[in-house]
Chains A and B, each alone.
Chain A
């Protein structure tokens, strides 16, 4: 194991691997990634694989817009010998109430301002795009055909391999157990396999981020929140865009191998790390699925799992420096880490390098929570 490193990135998910890759591209020679399990074990490997620009805050829209530009050329950009399976099949947003419809309209104004191609749809349009969707209660709907999906394992693998080729060292099954500090400065990372002297640490551990922060004496208000998903047997293509329903708090999308991935957010879910799967979830989900897609009643669920959002109080990413701990950087997508990973990798790497960032990220600094300057994302599921 390395005795020293220029930068230690903690977390081997899509963000950790993307940050490491971008650091290497910016010229850092000695970058180490520490992962307590295997690459993609955590939230990336458990996520729903969706990629969208239809958010309700400017920063979420911009980071996702810039990220999509990178997903579009990712196989070539990372010289990947596989396929990251990026597909722009669209995200269809569906609402059942006037209040939710108003949110869509407000978001639409923002999207127009930022040049994101989102369209308002009539019920007939919706029926044409997704003939199997029950449109009885639909009040308003929007679609963005640039949105879509990618394979989280492949995206992370592409960054991992590209980073390795540039000399980044990855240590899997290596757990961070503490740090050494000199005053406010970080001087070493302590792991269960030895110690690495470094002045710079990037925390890309998603739902575990607050536990890493605690080891550095920093209170981070990013909480693990369990989300569950099921996947069905593979079917012939019948569902082109991902359908996100704000009444049901659910999303449903057909992925490249033909399986349908479907899940919903439970607003009463207690905070904390919990990998169990509940029958209650699957019971409620089945009702939601059949209400929206009556044909799905005969489709088999083959697997059910859970993962976590590391959710911030305003549902927006937490990026950049940390007041009071020198050399400590946060790279947290907060419930959308996978889809934002290309840009979070770029922005945080630029920040670590002391370069000007492609997008202004000061607004996403962790300080905002103490100052009470929250920018709440309304369009979260």
Chain B
């Protein structure tokens, strides 16, 4: 039995449900980059650490492709969130 329902959140940073993502895919936003720009999926604080895999599976299912045939969106720096103060060193005495 699947534990995934239409209302299951797949991007926690941007509050996106699987239903919303499927709707955008069916409107033709069926690539990683396109759907990211349409919905902000993966653009929150975690930068897609959880949702990237879920979206990959959804896109593969919708396009009847293997997940390995789907291009991922670009991985951008920084790898982890980084404070401005940590970069300049203003925090070093705290």
Residues of A within 8 A of B (CB): 37-41, 45, 153, 157, 233-234, 257, 277, 282-283, 286-287, 289-290, 296-305
Number of A-B contacts (CB under 8 A): 70
B23 to chain A, nearest CB (A): 12
* CB–CB B81/A301 < 8 A: yes
Nearest-Cβ distance from residue B45 to partner chain A, whole angstroms: 5
Q: A233-B81, A302-B45 are in contact. Are A157 and B38 (CB under 8 A)?
A: yes
Q: Are B81 and A304 in contact (CB under 8 A)?
A: no
Q: Which residues of A contact B47 (CB under 8 A)?
A: 302-303
Q: List, sorted by A's number, 17 A–B pairs whose CB atoms are closer than 8 Å.
A: A38-B31, A38-B34, A39-B34, A153-B38, A233-B45, A234-B44, A282-B77, A286-B85, A298-B85, A300-B45, A300-B82, A301-B83, A301-B84, A301-B87, A302-B45, A302-B81, A305-B76
Contact among B45, B76, B87 for A286, CB-based, below 8 A? B87
Closest to A233 in B: B45
In-complex Cβ contact of B84 among A39, A277, A286 (8 A) = A286
Q: Is B6 an interface residue (CB 8 A)?
A: no
Q: Are B43 and A303 in contact (CB under 8 A)?
A: yes
B88 is an interface residue with CB less than 8 A from chain A: yes
Inter-chain contacts of A305 with B (CB < 8 A): 74, 76
Residues of B within 8 A of A (CB): 31, 33-34, 37-38, 40, 43-45, 47, 74, 76-78, 81-85, 87-88, 90-91
Q: Is the CB–CB distance between B83 and A298 below 8 Å?
A: yes
Asked, given contacts A286-B87, A290-B88, A290-B90, whether A301 binds B78 with beta carbons under 8 Å apart, the answer is yes
Q: How far is it, in angstroms, between the C-alpha of A279 and the C-alpha of B51 when the chains are bound?
A: 27
A300→B83 contact, CB < 8 A: yes
Residues in A whose Cβ lies below 8 Å from that of B87: 282-283, 286, 301
Q: In the complex, what residue of chain A is closest to B37 when comparing beta carbons?
A: A153
Contacts of A282 on B, CB cut-off 8 Å?
77-78, 87
Q: Do A299 and B84 touch across chains, with their CB atoms under 8 A apart?
A: yes
- A114, B82: Cα distance in complex, Å: 44
Of A40, A45, A157, A297, which one neighbours B83 at CB under 8 angstroms? A297
A41 touches B33 (CB 8 A): yes
Which residues of A lie under 8 Å from residue B37 when comparing CB positions? 40, 45, 153, 157
Please classify the interface of chain A as helix (H, G, I), strand (E, B), loop, or mixed, using the class held by over half of its residues. Answer: mixed
Distance in angstroms from A198 CB to nearest chain B CB is: 25
How far is it, in angstroms, between the C-alpha of A301 and the C-alpha of B78 when the chains are bound? 8
B76, chain A: closest CB distance, angstroms: 5
Check B88 against A287 for contact (C-beta < 8 Å): yes
> What residues of chain B lie closer than 8 Å to A286, measured between beta carbons?
84-85, 87-88
Cβ-defined contact, A300 with B91, below 8 A: no
Question: Which residue on A lies nearest to B14, using beta carbons?
Answer: A257
For A157, list chain B residues within 8 Å (CB): 37-38
Inter-chain contact B85/A290, CB cutoff 8 Å: yes
Nearest chain-A residue to B45 (Cβ)?
A233
How far is A213 from B87 in the complex, measured between Cα atoms in Å?
Answer: 42
Q: B45–A304 contact, CB under 8 A? A: no
Assembly CA distance A300 to B44 (angstroms): 12
- In the bound complex, residues from chain B placing their C-beta under 8 Å from that of A153 are 37-38
Measured CB to CB, the closest approach of chain A to B83, in angstroms, equals: 6
User: How far in angstroms is the closest Cβ of chain B from A162?
Assistant: 15
Give the distance to chain A from B21, nearest Cβ to Cβ, in Å. 16
Which residue of chain B has the shortest Cβ distance to A259 in the bound complex?
A: B43
The residues of A that contact B40 with a CB separation of less than 8 Å are 257
A41 partner residues in chain B, CB cutoff 8 A? 33
Quick check: A38 and B33 within 8 Å, CB to CB?
yes
Question: Known contacts A297-B85, A298-B85: does B34 contact A277 (CB below 8 Å)?
Answer: no
CB distance from A37 to the nearest CB of B (A): 8
Instruction: Let me know if B83 and A299 touch, CB within 8 A.
Output: yes
By the criterion CB–CB under 8 Å, are B83 and A303 in contact?
A: no
Q: Are B81 and A296 in contact (CB under 8 A)?
A: no
Chain A CB within 10 Å — which of B31, B87, B91 has the most?
B87
| Chain B residues with CB under 8 A of A283 | 87-88
A227 CB, min distance to chain B CBs, angstroms: 15
Is the CB–CB distance between B91 and A303 below 8 Å?
no
Cβ-neighbour of B82 out of A37, A287, A296, A301 (below 8 A): A301
Tell me the nearest residue of chain B to A82, going by C-beta.
Answer: B38
Please, how many angstroms separate the alpha-carbon atoms of A300 and B90 in the complex? 14
Q: Return the chain A residue nearest B34 by Cβ.
A: A38
Per the bound structure, the CA–CA distance linking A153 and B34 in Å amounts to 9
